[in-house]
Amino acid sequence: MLRSTYAAVGRVLEVTCLALRKHRFPLGFFMRSIAFLRALLPLTVLLLSLVVFHACGKNSQNQIVKDIVLQSSIRDEDIWVSLSASFMVGNLSFTAITMPIRNPKNPDVTYGEISFLPTLTPGFNEIKLSLNLSDVAKIQGGASPTIPNGTPIPIGGIGQVPVIEILIPGTNVKIYFALDQKTVLLGVAAAIKEFDVLSGYIGGANIFLGFNIQGVLGSAGLFTSRESGKSGIGLFVDLSSVINTEILNDLINNNRPASFADSSYKSYSSDVSPVQGELKFLQTATNSRQLYNLKRGMDSLNRKTRKMNLP
């Protein structure tokens, strides 16, 4: 799009040049006019791009999240949830890594695993998360969950619901889970080593966009910090599309599922109402200057590397 815009503005300049020469404008005035117009060209293209960006607000989520899949299942009488989300962050690709999610106080207890993976589509990456909700729900939650840059998670509607926050040792990757009768939240935030450079362009900031992909509600974006190792990406989703009231009651009461002929909750509870979630996936307020600086930062990052690594 930018290339075609530059071409169009360049054509306008060319036509203007011919008109000025035809009507014999003074050469000095002519050259100064062209120099001025050329100096305005990048700004003109930038403003046109920002207008398009804001005009497409509801569809701009598609620039970040490409696809997301949620599933719930039963394994050894425990309730599990799996998440797979593909998204785009410039032209950067993850260095593939899979890590276990362990109990911070007892490393012998494993709750699941998380993977950060590149894909065959240039610029798109995948986060895969598998989590034992029956075990995680037993952890004591907190009242002030934060993403790695120290700011609150970009979710409204939680109220007084405690949010379970698990930090994966040796990284700045956090897993989030919250539940009550009307709230089922799952999230992940991961600091990316290469994103440290972005703080020089936008300081400490959070830029998140809400999405609704095939009925799955959520929010995805990036966060930055002036402190090293605290800038990265985040993803939060409402699990109400795969968690119904019967499953939720089992989790809240720490009950084991009774019995299942199928490993999927769909056959177990097709006649049970889904959870009516109250989560609000906030779209971060941004301004033209911030978006411009973010673009400059991402362009600089793309020139330096094509890889993303966890700190």
Q: What is the pLDDT of residues 209-249, one digit of tens each?
A: 888 888 888 999 999 999 999 999 999 999 988 887 777 77
| pTM: predicted TM-score of the whole model, two decimal places | 0.74
Cα 226 off chain centre by: 20
| Angle (nearest 5°) at CA 258 between 255 and 259 | 145
Residue 173 to residue 250: CA distance in whole angstroms:
28
Phi, psi values for residue 67, rounded to 5°: -160, 155
CB crowding 48-86: b at 16 or more within 10 Å, else e:
ebbeeeeeeeeebbeebbbebebebbbeeeebbbebbbb
Residue 273 region by backbone torsions, left for phi larger than 0, else alpha for psi between -120 and 50, else beta: beta
DSSP string covering 154-177: SEES-TT--EEEEEETTTTEEEEE
Residue 160 to residue 148: CA distance in whole angstroms:
21
- Give every CB contact of residue 205 below 8 A, 6+ residues apart in sequence: 223, 224, 290
User: What would the pLDDT profile of 256-289 be if each residue is shown by its tens digit?
Assistant: 665 333 334 333 333 334 444 556 665 555 667 8
User: What would the pLDDT profile of 36-60 be if each residue is shown by its tens digit?
Assistant: 444 434 333 333 333 333 333 444 4
**Token reading at 214:** 């095939």
**Token reading at 32:** 């100064």
- Domain-wise residue ranges, the chain: 2-55, 61-308
Q: What is the mean pLDDT of residues 164-179?
A: 94
Calculate the average pLDDT of the chain. Answer: 76
Q: Answer whether residue 97 shows pLDDT above 60.
A: yes
Per-residue pLDDT band at 145 (split at 50, 70, 90): very high
What pLDDT is attached to residue 192? 94
Q: What is the mean pLDDT of residues 105-119?
A: 93
What pLDDT is attached to residue 29? 52
